[in-house]
Each structure stands twice: as C-alpha cells, then as structure tokens.
Amino acid sequence: MTNTTIGGPAAANENAVQRFIRALELDTRMLGMLVALVVIWVGFDIASGVMRPGSGGLFGGSFLTPRNLWILLVQTTVIAVMTTGMVLVIVLRQIDLSVGSMLSVVAVATGVLQVFELGPMLGVGHPVIWLAAVVFAIALGSAIGFVNGVLIAYGQIPSFIVTLGGLIAFSGTAFLIASGVTVAPMDKTFKLFGGNGPAASIGPIWSWVLGAAVCVMIVIMIVMSRRRRIHFKFATKPIWAEFLTGIVGCAAVLGITAVVNAYPYPPRVAERFALDNGIPIPPGVEDRAGTDICMAGEKVVSCLDGLSFATGYPIPVLITLAVAVTMTFIARRTRFGRYVFATGGNPEAAELAGVNTKWLTVKVFTLMGALVGISAIIASARLDAATTALGTLNELYVIAAAVIGGTSLAGGIGTIYGAIAGALLMQSLQSGMALLNVDSAYTNILVGGVLVLAVFVDQLYRRRVN
C-alpha cells in the first residue's frame, strides 16, 4: 500500500518520462487504467456518434454527454460500494461469493419491512420508515457477514465453501421471505438513495460547495504530507510536482462537478418541478412541452430550454464517495487496516506477531456484510422495488472489479480506489455496449475478456517492476 519508492535507490538509467512519473509518485497501474478508461469512453462516443449522428457528445456521440456520464456514475454505485469491501476480503486471502445473494436477502427483507410491515403500521410515508429501513439493512447485512466470518475463522471452513453455500442458500432465503413476490413501491424518502428525481440530487450550488471543499482538502493533505516528511526528514517531492498534483487533483474534482451540473433535469421532470415549486414557466415554453425533442434551427435542444435546472451530484454517488473515503482511511490509516494487509501478506508472520487473525477475519466479513447492506439500499431504491432477482451474479462483478483494479488473489495487495476504477471500467463497457444496442452476449464476452486481459497485463507489469 505505502509507496516504497520514496527515497529508495533511484535507477541510474531512467528516462525523462520515468523520472517525471517517479517525481510525482504516481501509481503507474492506476495511470494505465485511467488511460484505458479514456480510450474506452472516447471509443464509445465516436462509435455511438457514427450510429446516431448529432447526439451532442464530445466526439459527436451520446457517450461523453453529461447525461450519460451522470447515469454511468449512478449505475456504478451498487458494485462500487461492495467492491471496496471485497478488496479487504481478497487482501486477507479470502473470498466472498455470497454478496450477490446476500444483497437479495437484505433488499427483499428491507422491502418487506417498509412496505408490508411498517407502511400499514405507521402510515405510508412516515419518516421513521426510511430510517428504520436503512438501519435494518445495514444491521442485517452485518449480521450475515458476521456469521460468515465466524464460520470461516472459528469453524475453520474455507471461505470459498462457506460463501458458496451462502450464495446458494441466501437466494432461497430471499425467495421465502416474500414468497417470491416483487415488493414495491419503496418509501418515498428511501427512494432518494436510488438517485431518481430532483430531490435525490443535491443541486448545483451544493455540488460546487462540495467540489470546492474537496479541492481545499486535497491542498491541505498535500501541505500536511509535505510537512510530515520534512519533520521526519524523509525525501520530499520537488515543489513543481506538489503543485502539479494539487492542480490536476482539483481540476479533476471541479471537472466532474461541472459535468454533473451540466446535466439538467429531464424536460418533464423540470416541468413538474417548476409547477410543484411555483416557478413560473417562461412564455413560449409550455406549448412545446408535449414533445421531448425540439429543434432550434439545426440543433436538437431540450423542449424546456428556458426552464433548466442543473441536477448536481446524485445521493447514491455521494454515498459511494463517502464509502470510498472511509474505506481508504480504514485500509491505510487504522491498525485494523494495517493488520489486514499484514495478515494477507503473510498470515503466519502476522499471527506470530500477535495479530488475532481469526477475530480480524470476522471483522472483515462483517464489514463486507455492512457494505452489502448499503448496496442493497441503493439497488432497491433505484429500482423502486425489491425482488429476488436483485443482486444475482453481482458477486462475480464485484470480484472482477476488485481484480481489474489490481487486487491480487494471492493476498496482501489491493487498493480501494483501484477497485472503484475497476467497477467504473466494467460498467462503462456494459453501458457503452447497451448504448450501441449490441446484444448482451457480446458484452459478456467483452467484459470477461477484459477481466483476463487486465490480470495478464498486471502480471507483466509486476514482473517488470520486480
């Protein structure tokens, strides 16, 4: 996890690019993945532009539009949240195959609680309902994860077996809880966790405030880190590298903020929002409101051009960001996190050094369960329904995202941000292929191929570095 190249022996025969990367202390794997992401995005935008010209994307397609990128972020959240936990599980040399079925159980049980139990009892829309549902989902996920962990650590059953059993058993459990029926609709406030509707995003002002705050945080972290290094007499980055890191980091955050703010409410939603909030609809707009595509000269514009509201960051994306920051902190800055990486790197040594590896295993699986609970909330809120089918096969995508993101199945190696980038990459492939109207069979072949290719490239990279 910690970058060991700092102050290490510099290779004498470095070229300019290598020196540049080393000065910035960049994670070259991550850099490679970002390049891959950009290539995929541009490729899809060009391809979708060829198929349907004039869609307004950066390269003429419909992929690199604020709307698609906004939806892409939301679509990634369910897998991204779970994959942050899977990183720790895999780093600990374990596996959790039950997360998909666990998501079904938690989503269906939470749905039953809010729709069949609390709804009739407290009256539909009572504020206690969504709160109880959220607490219940996370608690239930943690409880299931805890049992998994105890069976693995103290029952000494391989995690592959325990969670394979869970994968099969939990899907049956999910079916029984609601006897197979789809539970819908979700509580109105609960639904906001899915990101649909005006109230489920924080709007342009708060999005800018948040973007600016994160920017300030980045600067503070750079300054603190430099001070600490000077204090401990470590080698520091060249001052230009510090500035470049800060500028690029801030530009990225503000850029994403600009993108989510560039996605306006869909015309009908804007119209309803205006009516609900007593915002006057500009003259000449309402008579065009019946259709969704309006032409202004040659250009396709929103029919409610005069009535535009920026969407901003959707709640599920904010939850995912919060989870990512928390999990990164846990992994890198807490004793628990260091123990996980130490144990994954060498279980015997960690145990001899006094780490309670069994209890550690239980804690990691409980954490995994809690994250599944959060994903279950987002998934069922987004679908506005809880069904047994929700979450099926998600375990494969969660594991694939972690592995594409550089988590080693041999244990001891993995990063949270890498895994999230892996999830984003996989969802980009799926969304892009769907945008091109490609049969899902080809998408599955592509995603599977990318998984194997990613690990192969990773192996080559590691061999060269060592």
Partner 1 sequence: MKFKTLTLLAGALVMSIAPTAVLAAGKTIAVSWKTFQEERWKIDEAAIKAVVEAAGDTYVSTDAQGSAQKQAADIEALIGQNVDVILVVAYDSDAILPSIQKINDAGIKAIAYDVQFEDPNALYITFDNVGVGRIMAQEMLKVKPEGRYAFIKGDKGDPNATFLFQGMMEVLKANIDGGKIQNVCETFTDGWKPDNAQKNMEQCLTSTNNGVDAVLSENDGMASGVVAALDAQGLAGTVPVTGQDGDLAAINRVALGTQLVSVWKNSTDLGTVAANAAIALADGADPTSIEGVAKFNGGAKGVEMNSILLAPTPITKDNIQVAIDAGHITKEQACAGVAAGAVPACG
CB nearer partner 1, residue 8 or residue 125:
125
How many alpha carbons fall within 13 Å on the CB side of residue 108? 25
For the CB of residue 361, give the shortest distance to partner 1 in the complex, in Å: 31
CA-to-CA distance for 252 and 218, rounded, in angstroms?
A: 11
CB nearer partner 1, residue 312 or residue 347:
312
For the CB of residue 433, give the shortest distance to partner 1 in the complex, in Å: 9
Q: How many CB atoms lie within 10 A of CB 241?
A: 17
CB nearer partner 1, residue 180 or residue 255:
180
Nearest to 178 by CA among 91, 106, 86: 106
For the CB of residue 35, give the shortest distance to partner 1 in the complex, in Å: 24
CB nearer partner 1, residue 208 or residue 273:
273
For the CB of residue 109, give the shortest distance to partner 1 in the complex, in Å: 16
For the CB of residue 392, give the shortest distance to partner 1 in the complex, in Å: 6
CA-to-CA distance for 96 and 75, rounded, in angstroms?
A: 22
For the CB of residue 118, give the shortest distance to partner 1 in the complex, in Å: 14
* Secondary structure, 3-state, 442-464: HHHHHHHHHHHHHHHHHHHHHHH
CA-to-CA distance for 453 and 458, rounded, in angstroms?
A: 8
For the CB of residue 69, give the shortest distance to partner 1 in the complex, in Å: 10
Q: Is the distance from CB of 57 to CB of 48 less than 8 angstroms?
A: yes
Q: Which residue has the tokens 């058993």?
A: 169
CA-to-CA distance for 265 and 71, rounded, in angstroms?
A: 12
- Looking at residue 287, the DSSP 8-state letter turns out to be G
Q: Per this entry, what is the length of the chain?
A: 466
CB nearer partner 1, residue 370 or residue 390:
390
Q: Give the pairing type, strands 299-302 and 293-296.
A: antiparallel
Q: Is the distance from CB of 318 to CB of 312 less than 8 angstroms?
A: no
Query: Which distant-in-sequence residues (6+ apart) come within 8 Å of 412 by Cβ?
Result: 91, 93, 341, 344, 345, 346
Query: Letter for the amino acid at 333?
Result: R
For the CB of residue 388, give the shortest distance to partner 1 in the complex, in Å: 9
For the CB of residue 175, give the shortest distance to partner 1 in the complex, in Å: 7
C-alpha of 302 from chain center: 30
For 169-173, the CB contacts below 8 A with 24+ separation are: 169/101, 170/98, 170/101, 170/102, 170/104, 170/105, 170/144, 171/101, 171/104, 171/388, 171/392, 173/101, 173/105
Ramachandran sector of residue 14 (left: φ over 0; alpha: ψ -120 to 50; beta: rest): beta
Residues at the interface with partner 1 (CB under 8 A): 48, 51-52, 55, 62, 65, 67-68, 71, 75, 78, 124, 172, 175, 179-185, 194-197, 265-272, 292-293, 300, 379, 382-385, 387, 389-390, 392-393, 430-431, 434-437, 439-441, 444
For the CB of residue 268, give the shortest distance to partner 1 in the complex, in Å: 3
CB nearer partner 1, residue 356 or residue 392:
392
Residue 348: burial class (beta carbons within 10 Å; 0-12, 13-18, 19+): exposed
CB nearer partner 1, residue 1 or residue 269:
269
CB nearer partner 1, residue 75 or residue 148:
75
Q: Is the distance from CB of 24 to CB of 243 less than 8 angstroms?
A: no
Residue 233: burial class (beta carbons within 10 Å; 0-12, 13-18, 19+): exposed
Query: Letter for the amino acid at 195?
Result: G
For the CB of residue 253, give the shortest distance to partner 1 in the complex, in Å: 24
For the CB of residue 255, give the shortest distance to partner 1 in the complex, in Å: 20
> Which residues lie across from 183 on neighbouring strands?
386
